[in-house]
Structure 1
Amino acid sequence: MSDDRTPVVFIHGLWLHASSWSPWEELFAAHGYRTLAPGWPGEPDTVEAAREHPEAVADRGIDDVTRHFEEIVSALGRPPVLVGHSFGGLIVQKLLGQGIGQAGVAIDPAQIKGVRPLPFAQLRSAFPVLDNPANKHRSVSLTRAQFRYGFGNALTADESDTLHERHTVPSPGRPLFEAAFANFSRHSAAQIDTANNDRGPLLLISGQEDHTVPDVVTRAAYKLYGDSTAVTDLKQFPDRGHSLTVDAGWRAVAEYVLCWLASQNVRPCTAATSA
């Protein structure tokens, strides 16, 4: 029997396991979507296994991850909605710019080529990786303190530590190096076709207290889409950090996404928060 539900593919970023999307999957499934939250190429199926085998994802770059999800999308039989967080948000923009996907949502998306602001908070968040050039070919883990600064700065220490224990995994350093030096590379993996007029609608979301991808970075990315006639929207959530997809306030973000998708005629909106 064929499945006529609209598919939605969730794409996580660095340091969070694919299972961190489970609450989103349940909510979107309840609203009639067919949900998938695949891991990055090589990613083990559980948080525990990912921590035991950091080498499984080492040295994977932006193009590797993009091709991985392109293959997943091509096997669905119909264009999905793409929802990504952090580097997952960059991957969503890359795929959508290539005409892949019905619509895209990029939440606190990693810096794309052409974005100029480089706030201190962003540099400090990336320092655990960028401080050692050898990390480009390794997987790197975040300590509780590093996660607290980069993800959980808008949370209590207890909630941040709980999320660190529940969701964090080692992640490849290569994507951070590729994004950090994108503006110095002629053929950067972080290059996005922001001028594509034929792509699906795109929603950019930022947490205005985010240290890892500060609000100014997301706003700068939004401006790069100014020459495209395709729909590009920006939503800012005040007092939210990089953890906004997994912390106690995740539902407000997810419900906004559901209603934005409805405004783009993807599916009817029945969530509590209107777009």
Structure 2
Amino acid sequence: MAQAGGRIRIGISGWTYAPWRGVFYPKGLRRKDELSYAARQVTSIEINGTFYGQQKPQNFAAWGAAVPEDFVFSVKAPRFLTHIRRLREVETPLANFLAGGLLSLGPKLGPILWQLPPSFRFDAEGMARFLDLLPQDTEEAARLARRHDDRLKGRAVLETDACRPLRHAIEIRHESFRDIRFVDMLRARGVALVCADTVSWPRLMDATADFMYCRLHGSEELYASGYNDAALDDWARRCRAWASGREPGDAERVGPRGARVPRDVYVYFDNDLKVRAPADARSLMGRLKLLAADGTPRR
């Protein structure tokens, strides 16, 4: 639902979790129908399978067909690029990722999430080189995708139905990224710095792009602890501030305030181990008046 400027989307990180069956998902719901059900409870979902391996184009087509028209996915970039190659010599793997079916999502393609490993230290030269590779729109992504290698021969998606901006968000997990040079290079390229709520990694709220991207992993127990009423009230207040062009009064930043412009806001609950993510997402949506009287998301 559009707020005063930016649109706030609240969602979950992934949707295929056995403990959710019979709790979040109704008993007897077919597994192939879980995405469709989840997408009618929230307004965005992170696709996690892309992190673990190359997906087939038909997977993206099926995911796009299973969700409402105004639904948006974020897509987690492959760990092969972030954890194995560590953002070095990634031109061909990046082309393979982009050619693997992302463009089939059309207007349902939201930000691409680049999650770095906890051992990944900030390297200004290497980070700048990687950021300069990232396509800024879907036409540029299609051109890069055409550089894929033979592993995708005959099953690559190399066209986009329209030229749309392509958003990128980087999640850091090492204290060395508390560096103004990092914030400045993100801001110069319009790449978002993920605000990760966790006990384990830095939580920064520098506004570096025209959108904010938050991942709520559980502030007390990683991937498990839920969010109480006070915490959800805090996140609702932050979302309203970002969407209206302000910054929260408690924003933890490395650099100065960003431009005073309304921002779209994406918030994903990743505290899935105890089936807290869907309930917390819905609770936050209620606070932001993103739910209709019948409990369905306002669209």
Q: TM-score range by the shorter chain?
A: 0.3 to 0.5
Give TM-score, length-normalised by structure 2: 0.32
Give TM-score, length-normalised by structure 1: 0.34
